[in-house]
Amino acid sequence: MSVVFTRSEQHHKDTLKAWAQALSGTAMSTFNVRVSEHVQVLTNCFHKYSEEAAPVNDIVSRFVFDVLGDVLFSKKYNLVETNGWHEYFDRRKDALPVLGPINDVTWLGHLMFLLAPFWSRVRDWFYMVDYSVQTMQQRFEDDSKGPRMDMAAYFIDEYHKLEGVYDLEKRNLHLQGTAVTAVIAGSDTTRSALIVALWSLAQYPDHAEKIRDEIRNVDLNDPVALSALPHLEGFIAETLRLLPPAMSGAPRDTGPEGLLVENILIPPDVKVTSPKYVMARLPTAFVDPNEFIPERWYSRPELIIDKRAFAPFSVGARACVGKPLAYTELRLVVANIAHDFDVAFAPYYDSQTMWLDLKDQVTAQPGDVKLIFKPRK
């Protein structure tokens, strides 16, 4: 159980505060420095690929895991720096294909886990859960050694504050659910967005040049300063619009009176989903919806017909709580990579591979991206 997946509105209300504190402006001021340090390691890594194709998907997987380990658990993996790997990546790759199709049919997932725990794909999912829970447990035990500034500190503090509100079993389940949510949702969604952003720097060099013009006199290690740059923000928004990290969106149940959509009544208590990928490409919401036009977000507002169709992190009380950290990573990576490199597709690489091999498996899984990072003088 976690703040994201609980069905209890009271439990959601009781436990949302810890996430808000963990990603507040105060916390992010500390995390921003640490994320910036990881971005410098990432940039140094790409400097090794000036003549050969960089396996972007693998490198980004390492990067987001390094950031997540540091910000969430104060844990140093150093996968980018050492060109290391983690079993979690392989397990995730094997687990998500079976979870994607049943994402909105949760009862089927529970049945599958109960009746087929021996199936390799189910075991891979349980590995991801066990890894998250065990890492949080280790961090919980390390808390006695002194205070640490990470997201887990807020969740552990919440755990203690809930004593007397929930029994021990429920508090343990909540802390475990929080760990699973933070690790799986926190790493995979950002991974997708960063892969698409780097692909876009190669696909749209003119927009990369506009970003360079904006960042000339800006501190590239300050995501707050970067957030004020209109073309950079528009570039990121178009990246998230054309390929939302969660493509299908979170399902919702219709209310007691049902839902009326264009004179069609959907009965009460029916689960409905509005796929973000489809909504963000509706011609009734955006002019030239399939075109990459960052200017629509600042200088050409006439190209946005209905902004409500743009919700890559969802909206309302159930919106993605990790949005501040995701934007920090996107701003720092895009700005620093655009500053240091001319990014191009590898000579043998078909630029449409990312789209042709794209899969919707709980989160978006872009096809392989192979890029050349030519250092700029």
Residue 191 lies in a domain: yes
Spatial distance between the Cα atoms of 262 and 252, rounded to a whole number of angstroms:
18
d(CA 113, CA 121): 10
Is residue 243's pLDDT more than 90?
yes
Residue 48 sits in a domain whose CATH number is: 1.10.630.10
Mind listing the pLDDT tens digit for each residue in 112-143? 666 666 667 778 877 788 888 899 999 888 87
Alpha helices in the chain (DSSP H): 9-22, 25-46, 56-73, 79-82, 87-99, 106-115, 120-142, 151-161, 168-203, 205-215, 223-226, 230-242, 276-279, 323-340, 353-356
In a domain, residue 305? The reply is: no
- Here the tokens at position 365 are 């899984």
**Structural domain total, the chain:** 1
Residue 271 domain flag: no
d(CA 367, CA 57): 8
pLDDT for position 82: 95
Flag whether 135 is in a domain: yes
- Examine residue 264 and state whether it is found in any structural domain, yes or no: no
- Do the annotations mark residue 45 as ligand-binding? no
196: containing domain: 9-245+315-375
- Mark 115-135 as b/e (b = at least 16 C-beta within 10 Å): eeeeeeebebbebbbebbbeb
Phi/psi of residue 266, each to 5°? -90, 125
Per-residue HEC secondary structure of 79-113 comes to HHHHCCCCHHHHHHHHHHHHHHHHCCCHHHHHHHH
262-300 per-position pLDDT tens digit: 889 999 988 888 888 999 999 999 999 999 999 999 999
Tell me if 250 is assigned to some domain: no
Q: Which amino acid is at 80?
A: V
Helix axes 120-142, 168-203, angle to 10 degrees: 110
Calculate mean pLDDT across residues 25-48. Answer: 94
> Can you tell me the distance from the alpha carbon of 281 to that of 221, in angstroms, rounded to the nearest whole number?
33
Q: Is 166 part of any domain?
A: yes
Q: Give the mean pLDDT of 226-237.
A: 98
Q: Per the domain annotation, does 110 fall within a domain?
A: yes
